[in-house]
Chain A
Amino acid sequence: MTCEKAMSLMSAYLDKELGFDEFRQVELHLAYCEACSQEYESLKATKELLGTLRAAELPREFWPELRERLGAVAAEERVAPARARPTSSARRSSARQLWWRGILRRASGGVGGSLFSSPMAKALVPAFLVLVLAALPMVWSAHRRPAEAQMSSRIDSIEPYFRDYVISEYDRPLSDKTSVGFVVTGQAVTMYTSDLLGPSSKVTRAGSLREASPSPPNTAGNEYTLISYPR
């Protein structure tokens, strides 16, 4: 490393703000370069001198004055937005109106009128309709997404029932449940199982239950007492 380069990196070296490679290079250079070592020492002394400056206390009147100024600004802002700026929803709705106006203008004459009368447009209209029909399933599925999200959250709420089921079957290794089903009604989830060896069972739990039931699953009856897992 040249002296010029080392000198330019000296403050960053002093502050340990260099990458490992550069840091090592400067370190090595300083080991044998007297001039750069002096540069380093004097910069270090300058930095230390700055460190002797004491932080001043905040003036006592700082906050009382500022509170007054902040209060005035807050009062001003409470009055101002209503008359000065349109709200964001108002801006959105006016933008929507403009968009609709553009569509309507095109459909009812202007550019649209001449387009619809041309033979090319006559050929384009069926193509456009085909495109719309093709796009419909995509739009439909996009609309269905929230419902799917709802379903997955229902699945999450059903997950504890599987755990209950596993627990209930722990002491019945030979049981053979032929089906497990769930019915979700509002806040309650009901689990139905049918067993080749015993009676069918039904478990119902309100989805909003949070406290845990201390009793273990009752495998003798048709209905289980479930351990409720707090979510």
Chain B
Amino acid sequence: MLNTEALAGVRYRENDVRAFEELVRRYDRKLYNVALRLTGNPDEAKDLAQEALLRAYRGFSRFQLGTSFEKWLFRIASNLYIDRLRKQRNVRFESLDEPVPTASGQVEKALPDWSNNPEDVAEQNELADEIQAALQSLPINYRLAVILYDLEGFSYEEISGILRCSIGTVRSRIHRGRRLLREKLAPYVKPAAAAGARW
């Protein structure tokens, strides 16, 4: 928790959009990336991140100064995404019992702009697509926990604050999520073993 956050918060209370922007600028890219990993679609991710920030702006009076603004913001984004999933009747909830989707194009999505990539763009994009597809296939609670920990570097304690669950639950969700990912990404996770089996 930074004092500057509280200060920016106080300034924001004076209806200052620019102060709000200043406050959330340090989280915008991280927020967008979480949204991108959750949705797998750049347009949807942009809209989700923007909507989460708008909600934070509207509901700022409910934010308690002195608590972590970051956790609060990511909680809004997570809840927003879960709400959207629930509302979209045509979006199915994956469960552990469902068959593992392969990378043969079951997940239809637009590709994000990985602008910093060097020459091996194609190869890296291919792997990134596989990982993204595998993430997409995880149940939402596992997906959220894995994304927040493995991709965005939040601690278990922070994730328990964001998702409003116990650290034990965070631990179990990350573990189960990773085990599912390991199955889905088997050829990439154990290339040597897989090659050995084939030979």
Contact with A along B86-113 (1 / 0, CB 8 A): 0000000000000000000000000011
Q: Would A49 and B189 be within 8 Å (CB), given that A10-B175, A17-B171, A70-B17 are in contact?
A: yes
Is there an interface contact between B20 and A15, defined as CB atoms closer than 8 Å? no
Name the distance in Å between B49's Cβ and chain A's nearest Cβ: 7
Q: Specify which chain B residues have a CB less than 8 angstroms from the CB of A78 in the assembled complex.
A: 15
> Does A54 count as interface, using CB distance less than 8 angstroms?
yes
> Does A74 count as interface, using CB distance less than 8 angstroms?
yes
Is there an interface contact between A73 and B57, defined as CB atoms closer than 8 Å? yes
Is there an interface contact between A54 and B116, defined as CB atoms closer than 8 Å? yes
Is there an interface contact between A12 and B182, defined as CB atoms closer than 8 Å? no
Contacting residues of chain A (13-35) with chain B, CB-CB under 8 angstroms: 15, 17
Q: Specify which chain A residues have a CB less than 8 angstroms from the CB of B172 in the assembled complex.
A: 8
Q: Would A54 and B114 be within 8 Å (CB), given that A42-B189, A62-B49, A73-B57 are in contact?
A: yes
Name the distance in Å between B132's Cβ and chain A's nearest Cβ: 8
State in angstroms the CA–CA spacing of A50 and B28 once bound together.
21
> Does B58 count as interface, using CB distance less than 8 angstroms?
yes
State in angstroms the CA–CA spacing of A42 and B188 once bound together.
10
Contacting residues of chain A (93-125) with chain B, CB-CB under 8 angstroms: none
Is there an interface contact between A11 and B50, defined as CB atoms closer than 8 Å? no
Q: Specify which chain A residues have a CB less than 8 angstroms from the CB of B58 in the assembled complex.
A: 73, 77
Q: Specify which chain B residues have a CB less than 8 angstroms from the CB of A73 in the assembled complex.
A: 54, 57-58
Q: How many residues of B contact A (CB 8 A)?
A: 49
> Does B185 count as interface, using CB distance less than 8 angstroms?
yes
22 pairs from A and B in contact (CB 8 Å cutoff) = A8-B172, A11-B171, A11-B175, A42-B189, A45-B189, A46-B181, A49-B185, A49-B189, A52-B131, A54-B114, A55-B33, A56-B32, A56-B112, A57-B115, A57-B116, A59-B32, A59-B113, A61-B46, A67-B21, A70-B20, A70-B53, A74-B57
Q: A43-B179, A66-B54 are in contact. List 19 more A-B contacts (CB 8 A).
A: A12-B174, A43-B175, A43-B178, A47-B178, A52-B128, A53-B128, A54-B124, A54-B128, A55-B33, A56-B113, A62-B32, A66-B53, A67-B21, A70-B21, A70-B54, A73-B54, A73-B58, A74-B57, A78-B15
